[in-house]
Amino acid sequence: MLLKKYPLLYALTLLFFFSGFSQERPNVVLIVLDDMNDYIGAMGGHPQAQTPNIDRLISEGVLFANAHSNAPVCAPSRASFMSGILPSSSSNYGFENRMKNEILSNSKTISEFAMENGYLAFQTGKIQHQSTKKDWTEMGVKKYQGPLAYNGKKPAPHPSVPKAFGAIGPLDGTFASLADVPDVPASKNAPGYKGWWHVQKKKPFRYVNDEDRDLLTDEKSAIWWQKKVKTLEASKENKPFFMAFGIMNPHTPHVVPQKYFDLYPLKTLKLPIIKKGDNKDCSYLDVLSGKGVSHFGALQKSYPTIDDGIRAYLQGYLAAVSFADHIVGDVLESIENSKFKDNTIVILTSDHGYNIGEKEYLFKNSPWEESTRIPFVIRDPSNKKNASKKVKHPISLIDLYPTIADVCDFKGSTLKNDKGHALDGFSLVPFLKNPENGRWKGPDVALTVIKNKNSPLAGKQNYSIRSKEFRYVHYCNGKEELYYHNEDPYEWKNEINNPKFKTIKQKLQKELKNQIPDLK
């Protein structure tokens, strides 16, 4: 036989059939963090942040250092990047059910488009707020943020959290290690309860110690994914896969094992760089006086000084960041120890950032750098020559979908019918090929929208755009802010009335108007 006469050809043929590398199109693993700002070692957001696994991923990939969320709060951000449609196009600005939105429900999500193109599509953890089985080949662990303290009838504030801050609600108002087992005393309305509580399952969360306990959602997802990788390795089907791994942290409640809190002793923990009175030249109180303002006020009431409060809250946030980084390490290890190592693109990002007291604001959903800026890194094994390089051009989450479609060579329409909407973003592949000067077709600014509760119209929302050097904010009441990042990286000085920047202001106003033609 021909193959017997040519041993090398015979050996290569065997390798083709049995090595599992006959698959030509790449796999994609999308890791989505929750509420993650730039508190990552390699991004320098906080000098003490310990994130070795994300740091390594950044060193092996291309970091988009000026990446931003299109909607800095969970539900609309996720609905947007998974559909590839801007909130200003779909009118999905908040926590409305995306499946009841005419445009979103008639457009294909990334996973649906991947399956249509012959991919297997998996998800675990938190990816969208209304995930359905038809969107995926298989769904893993359900999203759940907890455990929480319990009063015998319902979730309760954790006793270790000051009363004023706990009053904002158990979900947002809890920061405590798992080892700090809550003991909620009885009251006239509830019998009290000692122990952690799993609200979703309506049963106790078993905790003896950090090594003997129920697992957190992210830990369950990591185990599910490890098993899934082995199943895929053993499969003869050999289809490429798209995996969306949603990490719950560092979203509240900040409840993780004690060893992650121990990484950040309160006595040596450095505060974020905050200028007191920084909000005096801002206009957000007129239109955004929601959780960010009330949470900061509650923290202020809870401690002798606001610095004490921010330091206590920051410890829980950073502990959750390092816990999330550990999960990222588990995901990467599963890939790197498999036959998919050299044919799997890893993308890591977050739905939005988070303010830790800047501008007297403690939450997400703000128009400033802390809330809009996100980690965004792509590691492509075929692009090792550009490992550790950075892209400074502004991009946003809306560019995620077209990038995945491009690298995987998806074909066809992303619309289910004429009621859907075309992708709003642009493929980032030109930047992967040339991080310094990629010939990108997208805009020169990254767009962020924050919902105006009084109107569904695109022209009447609150907008923020980020260029290479500036941030421009336009509120629904017509008030504006302008920050010059080259001289003011913390956005302390609103330059909107500075004659020096009149031309820049007009240019950015035009940029925003180009994207939102109906802007009022």
pLDDT in tens, the chain (520 residues): 333 344 444 443 333 333 333 468 999 999 999 999 999 999 999 999 999 999 999 999 999 999 999 999 999 999 999 999 999 999 999 888 888 889 999 999 999 999 999 999 999 999 988 778 889 999 999 999 999 999 999 999 999 999 999 999 999 999 999 999 999 999 999 999 999 999 999 999 999 999 999 999 999 999 999 999 999 999 988 899 999 999 999 999 999 999 999 999 999 999 999 999 999 999 888 887 689 999 999 999 999 999 999 999 999 999 999 999 999 999 999 999 999 999 999 999 999 999 999 999 999 999 999 999 999 999 999 999 999 999 999 999 999 999 999 999 999 999 999 999 999 999 999 999 999 998 999 999 999 999 999 999 999 999 999 999 999 999 999 999 999 999 999 999 999 999 999 999 999 999 999 999 999 7
* DSSP run (H or E) holding 150: strand 149-150
* DSSP run (H or E) holding 27: strand 27-33
Helices and strands in the chain, H and E counts: 16, 24
Cα–Cα nearest to 101, from 125, 78, 126, 122: 78
Phi, psi of 446 (to 5 degrees): -100, 130
Burial (CB count <10 Å: 0-12, 13-18, 19+), residue 263: middle
Centre a 10 Å sphere on the Cβ of residue 427 and count the other Cβ atoms it contains.
20
Cα–Cα nearest to 243, from 262, 226, 258: 226
The pLDDT value given to residue 289: 66
What CA–CA distance (Å, rounded) separates 494 from 56? 36
CB 126 within 8 A of CB 34: yes
The pLDDT value given to residue 285: 82
CB 163 within 8 A of CB 157: yes
The reported pTM is 0.94
Which residues have a Cβ under 8 Å from the Cβ of 104 and sit 6 or more positions away? 79, 83, 85, 90, 92, 98
The pLDDT value given to residue 256: 98
The pLDDT value given to residue 4: 39
What CA–CA distance (Å, rounded) separates 434 from 62? 10
Token pair 């035009």 is found at 510
